[in-house]
């Protein structure tokens, strides 16, 4: 059996313990892996001077497939997101986040089972980080240029500026990916999300391209929704939606909303896919206050491993593992505290113990 070369990024905070459990569970499927274990995140600042050492990028470029534990992103200051940097450096342009109801997971509604997929553009929009800090000379010059070309523009003199690029090429690429995903996975409809009624030259462009791509892909239904209306629709009737394709910022926000509908970020897997590689990751953060406590829910990272198995062509192993996870969740005995009624610690197990329960379910 040929081993699949896979980069395993251990992350920081709760990342290393989630990475260890996920590795054990994936190996228990019987699939053979050639792991290249690397580190990224805050713990690398002291030793490497950067949260994203070049060795991590080199490993991913070499192996073409990776799975990543959570990595801290400082808020308001410090280094920019390692997650965003990885997507940019490797051109992982499609962020895929399935949102699926699993029996036994506490949910905040009484909807019938939800099974939808967010496809988020990863490389454009406000997340490219083209920002101008307030009260700087270059920002003042940019403000004057804006006033010159848009005399009616009204804003304060002391303000920061972010630039939002949306291109034809990358809009086309992500929308086509959404249609291809729908075809491969037996999905029936693609919904494009935008704010084209206000941002006519950016979101308007995204919507225009989405409609063009839809016309080129008969057999899959297409519609579109304004982003604020989409948020309401997802809360009221999420089962009306199937594959949802969005620009970067909206995709980030609405994927968390969808995760909440199926039980939260603890059960939300993710994939970042490009032409030359793929990186799989739990959607949630690094929760440093819980680091080393053997307390956190490993489901999201393990389900990200399910997505990775499918990407590697190991469909049978992926199906067995997803069923094993589903069985443990439904039984509700060997699960972490957040999956217990009322998030009670009574009867809850730890991260490692839940992983072992999933391994046991694989073998029964």
- Using the predicted structure, report yes or no on whether residue 94 has a pLDDT greater than 90: yes
pLDDT at 76: 47
Q: How confident is the model at residue 153 (pLDDT cuts 50, 70, 90)?
A: confident
Please answer whether residues 99 and 261 qualify as being in contact, where contact means their C-beta atoms are separated by less than 8 angstroms: yes
Q: Is 242 a catalytic residue?
A: no
* pLDDT, tens digit, 9 for 90 and up, residues 113-123: 899 999 999 99
At residue 264's C-alpha, the angle toward residues 117 and 56, to 5°, is 75
- Using the predicted structure, report yes or no on whether residue 75 has a pLDDT greater than 90: no
Please name each of the domains of the chain with its CATH number. 1-94+268-364 (3.40.718.10), 108-125+166-261 (3.40.50), 131-164 (no CATH)
Q: What is the mean pLDDT of residues 263-287?
A: 94
Q: How confident is the model at residue 74 (pLDDT cuts 50, 70, 90)?
A: low
Residues 76, 74: Cα–Cα separation, whole Å: 7
- Using the predicted structure, report yes or no on whether residue 1 has a pLDDT greater than 80: no
Catalytic residue among 39, 125, 242, 252: 252
Catalytic residue among 93, 102, 127, 177: 127
pLDDT at 270: 97
Catalytic residue among 39, 177, 181, 195: 195
pLDDT above 90: percentage of residues in the chain: 76
Q: What is the mean pLDDT of residues 90-111?
A: 90
Please answer whether residues 338 and 105 qualify as being in contact, where contact means their C-beta atoms are separated by less than 8 angstroms: no
- Using the predicted structure, report yes or no on whether residue 15 has a pLDDT greater than 60: yes
Q: What is the mean pLDDT of residues 216-221?
A: 97
Q: Is 181 a catalytic residue?
A: no
pLDDT at 254: 97
pLDDT at 48: 85
Backbone angles phi, psi at 353, to 5 degrees: -65, -35
pLDDT at 344: 84
Catalytic residue among 183, 228, 240, 343: 228
pLDDT at 67: 98
Lowest mean pLDDT segment, chosen from 54-68, 255-269, 336-350: 336-350
- Using the predicted structure, report yes or no on whether residue 343 has a pLDDT greater than 90: no
pLDDT at 79: 56
How does the average pLDDT of the chain come out, rounded? 93
Distances (CA, A) of 112 to 102, 108, 109, 313: 11, 12, 9, 31
Q: Is 228 a catalytic residue?
A: yes
- Using the predicted structure, report yes or no on whether residue 63 has a pLDDT greater than 90: yes
pLDDT at 77: 47
Residues 132, 148: Cα–Cα separation, whole Å: 18
* pLDDT, tens digit, 9 for 90 and up, residues 293-323: 999 999 999 999 999 999 999 999 999 999 9
* pLDDT, tens digit, 9 for 90 and up, residues 159-210: 899 999 999 999 999 999 999 999 999 999 999 999 999 999 999 999 999 9
pLDDT at 36: 98
Q: What is the mean pLDDT of residues 312-340?
A: 96
Residues 64, 7: Cα–Cα separation, whole Å: 8
Instruction: Identify which has the larger pLDDT, 73 or 122.
Output: 122
- Using the predicted structure, report yes or no on whether residue 335 has a pLDDT greater than 60: yes
Q: How confident is the model at residue 245 (pLDDT cuts 50, 70, 90)?
A: very high
Residues 137, 143: Cα–Cα separation, whole Å: 10
Instruction: Identify which has the larger pLDDT, 153 or 324.
Output: 324
Rg (CA), the chain: 21
Q: How confident is the model at residue 56 (pLDDT cuts 50, 70, 90)?
A: very high
Q: Is 127 a catalytic residue?
A: yes
At residue 269's C-alpha, the angle toward residues 264 and 271, to 5°, is 145
Phi-psi category of residue 11: left, alpha or beta, with phi > 0 → left and psi -120 to 50 → alpha: left
pLDDT at 181: 97
Instruction: Identify which has the larger pLDDT, 336 or 135.
Output: 336
- Using the predicted structure, report yes or no on whether residue 109 has a pLDDT greater than 80: no
Six-digit token string for 325: 């996870």
pLDDT at 80: 62
pLDDT at 111: 67
């Amino acid at each position: 059996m040929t081993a699949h070369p896979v980069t395993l990024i251990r992350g920081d905070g709760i990342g290393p313990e989630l990475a260890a459990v996920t590795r054990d569970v994936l190996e228990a499927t019987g699939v053979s892996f050639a792991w290249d274990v690397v580190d990224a995140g805050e713990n690398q600042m002291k030793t490497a001077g950067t949260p994203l050492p070049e060795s991590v990028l080199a490993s991913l470029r070499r192996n073409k497939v990776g799975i990543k534990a959570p990595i801290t992103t400082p808020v308001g200051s410090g280094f920019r997101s390692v997650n965003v940097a990885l997507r940019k450096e490797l051109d992982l342009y499609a962020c895929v986040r399935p949102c699926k109801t699993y029996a036994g997971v506490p949910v905040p509604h009484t909807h019938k089972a939800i099974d939808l997929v967010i496809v988020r553009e990863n490389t454009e929009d406000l997340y490219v980080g083209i920002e101008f800090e307030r009260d700087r000379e270059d920002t003042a010059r940019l403000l004057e240029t804006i006033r010159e070309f848009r005399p009616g523009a009204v804003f304060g003199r002391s303000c920061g500026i972010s630039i939002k690029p949306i291109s034809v090429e990358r809009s086309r690429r992500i929308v086509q990916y959404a249609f291809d995903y729908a075809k491969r996975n037996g999905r029936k409809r693609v919904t494009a999300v935008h704010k084209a009624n206000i941002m006519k030259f950016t979101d308007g462009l995204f919507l225009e391209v989405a409609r063009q791509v839809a016309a080129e892909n008969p057999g899959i239904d297409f519609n579109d929704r304004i982003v604020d209306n989409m948020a309401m629709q997802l809360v009221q009737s999420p089962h009306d939606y199937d594959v949802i394709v969005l620009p970067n910022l909206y995709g980030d926000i609405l994927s968390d909303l969808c995760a909440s509908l199926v039980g939260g970020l603890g059960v939300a897997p993710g994939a970042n896919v490009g032409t030359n590689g793929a990186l799989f990751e739990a959607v949630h953060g690094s929760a440093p206050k819980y680091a080393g406590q053997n307390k956190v829910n490993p489901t999201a990272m393990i389900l990200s491993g399910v997505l990775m198995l499918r990407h590697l062509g190991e469909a049978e192993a992926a199906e067995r593992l997803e069923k094993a996870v589903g069985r443990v969740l439904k039984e509700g005995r060997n699960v972490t505290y957040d999956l217990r009624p009322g998030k009670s610690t009574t009867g809850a197990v730890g991260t490692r113990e839940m992983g072992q329960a999933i391994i046991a379910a694989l073998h029964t």
